[in-house]
Structure 1
Amino acid sequence: MKKRIAANIWFLLLIVSPVFAQQKANEASFSESQRVKLDNLLNDYISKGWIKAVSASILVDRKPVYNKAFGNNLNRPARTDDILRIASQTKAVTCTAAMILFDDGKFGLDDPISKYIPAFKNPRVLDKFNPTDSSYTTKPATHEITVRELMTHTSGLGYAQIGSPEMNAIYAKAGIEAGFVIHKKLLETEINKLAKLPLAGQPGERWQYSLSIDVLGRLVEVASGLDLNTFFKERIFKPLAMNDTYFALSKEKQSRLATVYTEDPKNKRVKPWVDGVFPGATVNYPINNNGYYAGGAGLVSTSKDYGTFLQMFLNKGIYSRRRILSEKSVALMTSRQIGNIPFTDNTFGLGFEVVTEKGSKLSGQSVGSFGWGGFFGSTYWVDPKKKIVAQIYVQQWPFSHGEIAGRFKAIIYNQTAKN
């Protein structure tokens, strides 16, 4: 009997010891001193009146090492389960949807988009623009836009409302908006309308932030036979148990929607957003039943849900033993896809900024780390080498103190960069 008990204890130790060792390794990779520094950083920005609320989440090797919220929403304290407007973080989800269909053999990355959305046949590029009446002349594009060019923002398309003055005017005249829409719209109608307008530049020539991912969302609809909302739910959100991620937020969850703040243009005082701050946009887009599935900006989510989504990439396309993306697609999305086209100190994959050697020296992130952010002051990244998933959310625009993301990153890498 004693031998049997000893054997059972030894067996339990074999199982528990690696788990305990991993837990200790996670704790060692993120110290108490770093937690205190992060607390102080986030509280400092609130006490100085630069922000009203902030939340941050860090996973190391799938385990949470930091998950806190500070400050206040309009009628309640900020919480870690607040539902947040993730804006351009939607782009990574749309690119993932497209790559799921790529894995299914529905299209090739170098297929012309006109093969699936005929309105994009024979694109033309802006040549001359008259600012007095927004009239313009065009010239032929050198080639048709490809799926890969949509995903890398090298399609030649511009961005409504936040692009160049010329494209802002052209898009405004045509009623093209960036995604935070006020009135009912359909993705199919808007993308077909966009296709008839001039490109801002030649496809494949330069990186230019754009409505490309909104067009990609329409491609997902055409290739799958489902609207974007349904495809996201069936192929991404349900498999990943992302139960708080939506285009349209149900009434029973609206009390968890975080407040959006803005800055007074005269004195920079932070105050609640009132529609009109950003012309042609509303922060009520998740609750105004606009019916518009903007693949470039339309989702709300939580740090828990989005962290799960990012962890799937860290797991090379698998989450909870279920494959969402092929390992090949994860590798394509998180590696250089723009050749020698200049892009900051880093490069660009399919939907993500990807850290290069030069960028790594500046940020401390490992080469190959990937991420992006959102209009309302959010930043996220994944560091595959160090197994880090990090997110920080500030629901505010304009945001004069965007350096908070860099300082957040610096605290994380002060220790982990030495390991």
Structure 2
Amino acid sequence: MNILQALFFPPEQPGGVSSMVPYIGERFRKIGWEIELFSIPKRIRNKGQEPFEFDTFDWRLYAGNPVVDKYMQTLKDYVWWTKLRLKSGYDLIHAHHPVAALALRKIYPDTPLVMTVHSSFERELILNGRIAADGPEHRFLTSLYGELEAKTDKMLTVSHSFAGYMGAYMKSPERIGVIPNGYDERRFKPISHDNEVAQIVTVCRLVPAKGIDLLIKACAELRKRDRKFVLHIIGDGPIRPELESLAQAQGIYDDTIFYGYMLHPEEMLPFFDIFVLPSRAEAFGSVFAEAALCLLSLIGTDVGGIAEQIEDGVNGLLVPGEDPQALADAIDKFILDPHYRYELARAAWNKAKKTYSLSRVIQELKKIYIDLGPPVEETT
């Protein structure tokens, strides 16, 4: 079978999609399937001029708002780039971003189309203070779920929590399939180490939605308790200067290392002890599974897909959102009891190996592809 895996930006961009989709292609190629990876370069801007319309709503009701206008131009740019670069047909298209799905449906109207929604752009924009809840941009972006439902042959997402969120904007939410992300275990190599001082790490884009301000405040509370730690912040983003200033104001700047963007953070993760990400919203939270496969103990907020990965007190600790004190208490438990944090890390590692295996994802996707695509000769 000849399948196009369509992303938005190239796979070297950080995030759960990039840490999984290229490896999906690699596995399918090993069983003799043809897999092509496609995305739009960041430099492509304002090239598309072909009009773009939706079947389920009129986007012009929201025109004039910057987020909406930019989204529509991006759709046109994706269509322009696709027509420029893709010539051959495909047995099936699997899109991993709404822009990719809607643009490719316009160009390949008769090709089976699978869409995996990996995250909520509108929730991220609201949490990052860029749009208002229930405003025109929010209504436009949530209307896209109904359009995707109408235009795709199969809708997938990465957690039951997010399926419930999407379903509120769809006619038949029961048709949404859930396939949690999977990871190639060969990329993750736990390393035996004994850190005298607890090494706390987080990996994310530095935006308000990720809650790193809460982590810094929690670590300031740990400093008041005279706990010893080093906080490692891997990632970059628009609020990095604010977070550095906050670390200084909270008196923990000397205990904090800002690394900036890193292409393969999994190479460093095994040397740390405690992974923390107090997200304000998360469709899945791929980095938790990655940290678990590196044998780190996990602490996250009780939101979205994080709560489906972590069972509090069994394979990690969950804390309420917007509560730096509770977050500090959770980290303190792991600092004071290395044996406890190791036991929970081991449980998280076992669950991640079983539940977030890339082999599981391949088998589930293979069934969907075979059901939707042309007949294929069975291979092992």
* More RCO (CA 8 Å, sep 6+): 1
- The structure richer in helix per residue is 2
TM-score (norm. length: structure 2): 0.30
Larger Rg: 1
